[in-house]
Amino acid sequence: MNVSTKWLIDLVPGLAGGPEEISEHLALRGAPVDDITSPGRDLSDIIIGRVIRARQHPNADRLRVCEVDNGEETVQIVCGAPVVKDGACYPLAPVGSILPGDFKIKRSKIRGEVSHGMLCSAKELGLGDDHSGIMELVGDFTPGESFIDAVGLSDFTLDVEVTANRGDLLSHVGIARELAASGEGHIELPEIPDVSDLPFEYQTGAPEVGHAGFSVRIEDENLCHRYIGAVIRGVSVKSSPEWLQARLRGAGARPVNNIVDATNYVMLELGQPMHAFDLAELRGQSVIVRGASQKETEFVTLDGETRPISTDMLMICDEEVPVAIAGVMGGNNSEVSDRTVDILLECALFDPKATRATRRKLGMSTDASYRYERGVDPEGLRSAMERCIHLVLSTAGGELEWPILDCNPVPFESRTVELRVSRIEKLLGIPFEAGYVGDLLAPLGFAVEKETDGVLHVRVPGFRSYDVTREVDLIEEVARTHGFDNFPDTLGPQRASSVADHPLFQLEDRLRAVLVGHGMFEVQTPAFCPEGEGDVEVSNPLTTVEPFLRSSLMPSLLRRVEYNMARGNRDVRLFELGTSFHKRGSGEPPLEEPHLAGILTGRREPPH
């Protein structure tokens, strides 16, 4: 998860320290930072240049000769951009500067005119995919000032390691919540410029909801629990303002246009994937969430790839054809473009397992699927939709069409978990007061609803509903928030167990001792295997090449021998104590048996 430190500081007023200090805080909270980078690290030579006058190149129809103010003097630069405006500011790479890719700018003569530098496009700076023209800067800029400082690229991006069970950390608010829980402050969403509060109105229903002829229908509520759709008409698709682009770059994302950037902003801030459809490209007046039909075998996604689809995949469709693969990627048949005027915003809650199965079957992974697989906040969909609407209206204009359609066939029911204060002391080794426990849990979103006889009834927030299901999960949250470094480093009194090890474990220990004593080496190989080496199929395999559980230890041992022989070691003596799996009746779990296997090759008395 790429995290912008500036974004975090804006979310948590009063957050102190630089990227290193923030990284230390996150590491203590169980979210270590793997790397710290800066989006402007390769752009230190770039400055702001203002075009004083641009004229046609005398010897080339497609070139322009520009007089550019670089803050110290006026220099001549030959530019190939189709449009250069007098008085506008652009990124300027002066002679001697180095662009990303180790491209050095030199003084050159182009068709008889000398060029003292280069006016840069977003793609040449590594800040976007637009290579059609130079990057015009909107706002007040001073010629000669650092480009990094002028457009807000003096940010640091943290690469935060997020475990599979913590989908709530796949957002800036999720990371900020951990920092706020450490006593660093409270969370406040940054204000969106040029937007006023709207009295949002919703039309709810299930399995179909509609208004004024437009409707949303969910045909498979097991795969899609909720779908919210909002229509905004009269938008102007263009480049996002600099503040929004800087936000995205600080989080490691590339700006596209103001509509797509708004959806990406919400996903990165709140963790809720969003999608925008070009309403004019949708056929009919309905959005239907259904499985692919037998006739629908291929779908072209936004990246231009034709992908095979099947009936077990959930699709977002208009009245005739699919327009998106649910939870994974939209289609190019409804993509927002420069010609788009009306859009449909999507905010949905898809089943994590179904999204994971679809993504694996397609052999692709997206930012949206990565979050849906781990679970998004079922209580945060409306907040995400409203945040995205504000962003679109602020950056693209337009008018929201009332009401917002909210199809919710599976309403979310929050969970309450009982937490015994005595159990906390039993597991963590130190006593905790009930009030202190509530204070530790509150910043993380948990609410103590009541306390009876030393038992806290704790309401679990939606964004933690996937991984906090038991009392011990709450105790882990108490330990994290209290701080592992605050626990005593001395062991308390304890009594050794008088219960003997299981006889099977004792036998395995004796076998290991005997075999190692005879010069053999123990190996531990994965239980997964390809088809033909086992008959128990895994419903959710780690890899497609090993979808079964082994019925024998020998094939994996032989592969270890092959590995050694390929590297010139022919004196191999290996053994493994492991489990084999055999299929039983339908609906029954497989039979698991402990096995011992050994293999010896080479000389009878090897040198070692």
Q: Average the pLDDT over each of 193-197, 232-236, 389-393 and give the range with the smallest value.
A: 193-197
62: left (phi over 0), alpha (psi -120 to 50) or beta: alpha
Kindly report the average pLDDT of the chain as a whole number.
94
* 15 or 304, which is more confident: 304
Q: What angle do CA 422, 181, 272 make, to 5 degrees?
A: 110
Assigned domain for 507 exists: yes
pLDDT value of residue 115: 97
Angle between the N-to-C axes of helices 471-482 and 434-441, in degrees from 0 to 180, rounded to the nearest 10? 80
- The percentage of residues in the chain with a pLDDT greater than 90, rounded to a whole number, is 83
Assigned domain for 162 exists: yes
Q: Which residues have a Cβ under 8 Å from the Cβ of 421 and sit 6 or more positions away? A: 432, 433, 434, 437, 454, 455, 456
Pick from 503, 506, 500, 511: which is nearest to 595 by CA?
Answer: 511
531 with 482, same domain: the answer is no
Tens digit of each residue's pLDDT (9 = 90 or more) over 418-457: 999 999 999 999 999 999 999 999 999 999 999 999 999 9
The CATH number linked to 449 is 3.30.56.10
419 with 566, same domain: the answer is no
Single residue among 128, 150, 172 that ends a domain in this structure: 150
The CATH number linked to 525 is 3.30.930.10
pLDDT value of residue 478: 97
Span 209-217, average pLDDT: 94
Amino acid at 54: A
Provide the 3-class DSSP secondary structure of residue 579.
Answer: strand
Residue 194 has pLDDT above 90, yes or no: no
pLDDT value of residue 131: 63
Which DSSP category does 191 fall into?
Answer: P
pLDDT value of residue 183: 65
508 with 438, same domain: the answer is no
Tens digit of each residue's pLDDT (9 = 90 or more) over 486-502: 999 887 777 777 788 89
Residue 185 has pLDDT above 70, yes or no: no
Task: List the domain range (segments joined by +) for residue 543.
Answer: 503-600
Tens digit of each residue's pLDDT (9 = 90 or more) over 536-546: 999 888 888 99
Pick from 331, 226, 244: which is nearest to 283 by CA?
Answer: 331
Assigned domain for 543 exists: yes
pLDDT value of residue 491: 76
pTM of the model: 0.81
The CATH number linked to 305 is 3.50.40.10
Span 16-39, average pLDDT: 92
Residue 247 has pLDDT above 80, yes or no: yes
389 with 444, same domain: the answer is no
Tell me the DSSP string of 130-197. Answer: --SS--PBPS---TTSBHHHHTT----EEEE---TT-GGGSSHHHHHHHHIIIII----PPPPTT---
Which burial class, exposed, middle or buried, applies to 243 when counting CB atoms under 10 A from its CB (0-12, 13-18, 19+)? middle
Span 278-284, average pLDDT: 97
294 with 361, same domain: the answer is yes
Assigned domain for 189 exists: no
Tell me how far CA of residue 590 lies from CA of 149, 263, 567, in angstroms: 62, 45, 37
Q: Work out how many domains the chain is built from and give that number.
A: 5
311 with 291, same domain: the answer is yes
The CATH number linked to 102 is 2.40.50.140
In this prediction, residue 215 has a pLDDT band, given cuts at 50, 70 and 90, of very high
In this prediction, residue 150 has a pLDDT band, given cuts at 50, 70 and 90, of confident
Assigned domain for 192 exists: no
pLDDT value of residue 585: 84
Look at the chain and count its residues. 608
Assigned domain for 427 exists: yes
225 with 361, same domain: the answer is yes
Assigned domain for 212 exists: yes
35, 159 Cβ separation under 8 angstroms: yes
367 with 314, same domain: the answer is yes
Tell me the DSSP string of 102-133. Answer: TEE---EEETTEEE-EEE--TTTTTS-S--SS
240 with 352, same domain: the answer is yes
338 with 245, same domain: the answer is yes
Assigned domain for 554 exists: yes
| Percent helix / strand / coil, the chain, rounded to 5 | 25, 30, 45
Tens digit of each residue's pLDDT (9 = 90 or more) over 112-142: 999 999 999 988 998 876 667 899 887 789 9
pLDDT value of residue 335: 97
440 with 549, same domain: the answer is no
